[in-house]
Amino acid sequence: MRSKIVAGNWKMNKNLEETETLLTELSGKLPDSEAEVMVAPTFVNLSAAVRNLENSSIQVIAQNMHFAESGAYTGEISADMLLNIGVDTCIIGHSERRAYFGETDEILAKKIKTALKNGIRVMFCFGEELEDRKSGNHFKVVESQLKNALFSLDKDAWSKIILAYEPVWAIGTGETASPEQAQEMHAFIRKTIAEAFDASVADNVSILYGGSVKPGNAAEIFSKPDVDGGLIGGASLVANDFIDIIKAI
């Protein structure tokens, strides 16, 4: 059975004090939910977040990691460093990493391999750009992103994979894929995985939607059968909004 997941990607927002305040508010208001709830603060505040949430079911996850185990990679963070502070899930392939930091499918495949080798659960992000959708190439683009990053994995590795479909045109733009567009793509993703692996792999992988999910649209998007939750940017920075999105699932 795949899990329902609501994850907040805080990106480069919230200093230490603001992180503590938001986490305390979130854990105080957290509703009873069958969904896994995750937050991804910036690297410098991960340890503090883990400590703050010691008695909470909210999981702390990372926004990124490097593909090397260790070494001369100034400014980078390794899998071991994350595990060592109690973080065992990592977002990989966010479109902002692809667009602003030159992360290619090849680099992402290496990161995924290193994460899995170290026992880190991967939340893999992918999604088409506006031109791809306008030209009708969105399915092809998504299929190739999945193939390049994930299709060389062993079947067993899929228990450690979460997918987050995030159409680039919907991220931080206020524009959301309609629930029907999200469902159509999520069903396509599941079918593509079933063909490349098998139906049980496809049925058991959680596929989150990301891109301007807000309290006002979350319930309708989450009601779609192949949408297993959301990766939330902007709205995860406001405690009441994030809590309302968790309630929506």
Residue pointed to by tokens 């989450």: 222
The rounded distance, in Å, linking the Cα atoms of 116 and 131 is 33
- C-alpha 36/C-alpha 5 separation (Å) is 5
Q: Which residues contact 122 (CB under 8 A, 6 or more apart)?
A: 89, 90, 92, 112, 115, 116, 160, 161, 162
Size of the site for ligand PGA (CB under 6 A): 13
127 binds ligand PGA (CB under 6 A): no
How is residue 96 written in tokens? Answer: 């902002």
| Binding span for ligand PGA by CB under 6 A among 18-26, 43-51, 132-140, 229-237 | 229-237
Q: Which entry of 103, 128, 143, 166 is annotated as an active-site residue?
A: 166
**Alpha helix segments (H runs only) across the chain:** 16-29, 46-52, 79-84, 95-101, 105-117, 130-134, 138-150, 179-196, 199-204, 215-222, 239-248
Residue 234 lies near ligand PGA (rule: CB under 6 A): yes
Burial (CB count <10 Å: 0-12, 13-18, 19+), residue 160: middle
Residue 94 is a catalytic residue: yes
Task: Decide whether 201 or 230 has the Cβ nearer to ligand PGA.
Answer: 230
Q: What letter does residue 157 receive in the DSSP assignment?
A: G
Least Å from the CB of residue 172 to ligand PGA:
4
Residue 14 near residue 45, CB atoms below 8 Å: yes
Binding mask 89-118 for ligand PGA (x = CB under 6 A): ------------------------------
Q: Please, which residue, 127 or 157, has the CB nearer to ligand PGA?
A: 127
Active-site option among 94, 96, 138, 186: 94
Nearest approach, Cβ of residue 62 and ligand PGA (Å): 14
Q: Does 229 bind ligand PGA (CB under 6 A)?
A: no
Touching ligand PGA, residues 34-53 (CB under 6 A): none
Q: How far apart are CA 165 and CA 230, in angstroms?
A: 9
Show contacts with ligand PGA in window 178-217 (CB under 6 A). 210-213
Shortest Cβ 120–ligand PGA spacing (Å): 19
Q: List, by residue number, the catalytic residues.
A: 94, 166
- Per CB under 6 A, residues contacting ligand PGA are 9, 166, 171-172, 210-213, 231-235
